[in-house]
Structure formats: C-alpha cells, structure tokens
Amino acid sequence: MSLYKISFSQKLDADNEQISNETILKKFHAVLHKEKRADRYELGSHSLKIKNDLIRFKFGVDFWFGVPAAAVNIEKVGIYDREITYTINIFPIALLFLIELIFVIYFILTTPVVINAYIFPLFIFVLATMVPWTLVLIRHKTTFNKIIKSIIQTKE
C-alpha cells in the first residue's frame, strides 16, 4: 500500500482536439526518456507499452543527496475524455526511517526530560522524511508540465 497516491491532470483545450491519444502517449514516452525517468522506472528490458491509452511502469527509487528518499511507482498515464492524468504512488524507504528513528531515540535518551527538548528530534524526523518526498513530487510535477508543454507544441 502506498503512503501517497498523487495524480496530476490537465484537460486539453479545443485547440488540441486533433492530437491523437497515441501521439500524446508517445510524447509522454519521449519526455520521460529525455528526463531519464523512463530508464529509471523500466527495470526490465521491456519498453513502455502503449496499450488502451495507458502507460504502466514498474517500481523505481528516487534519491535525495544519495539517500533513497522514496520508492516511486508511476502507476498510470491515462487519457480519458481529453484529460491527461499522471498518477504516482510514493512508498516510504525503510532505511531512511530506520536512520531517523535511531537518531530520534538516541536524542531522547540522552536529553534531560524537558518537553521542549523532544520537539527538536521530532521536527528533524518530520523534516527528514517530508523534504525528500516533497522534492520527489516536485520532480514529477515538473516532468508532467514538460509533457503537457510538449503535447501542446505538437499542434504548432
């Protein structure tokens, strides 16, 4: 089960009606390869499958300063009623949690019992888990925006 399930979507306007679903999916494929996202998520030798207006990926890991921040599964890229959706699942990385948990426990055990002293390690714990996942989301949102821009430029 994923910790986060995030969908980005964009409705194509009337000016882009002539762009076929297959062209849109090929644009997704091209941008993901250019962004090196497709390489990261295609663990096998198979290329992205364009089937039933949907692209499915396998798992990949996004890193943050060399630390595995989140396992990300790009669940689907779909086109329904001229609306493009890009859904990702983000999973926690056990190693990151373990390191943070050890730090928090150590800090609490070595600090005098003062309520304010417990705020700092909990703040660090939240910061260390949420910042990498937020950066992962920003990366994927940026990729999605590049895909939309690429699709819209197809018309011109």
Mean pLDDT in residue range 115-133: 67
DSSP structural state of residue 114: -
DSSP β-ladder status, 59-64 and 83-92: unpaired
Pick the closest to residue 140 from 37, 50, 48, 39 (CA basis): 37
pLDDT in tens, 20-38: 767 776 777 677 666 655 4
Q: pLDDT for 76-117, tens place per residue?
A: 666 666 677 777 766 656 556 666 677 777 777 776 666 666
The DSSP line for 30-75 is HHHHHTTHHHHH--SSPPPP-BTTEE---EEEEEETTEEEEEEEEE
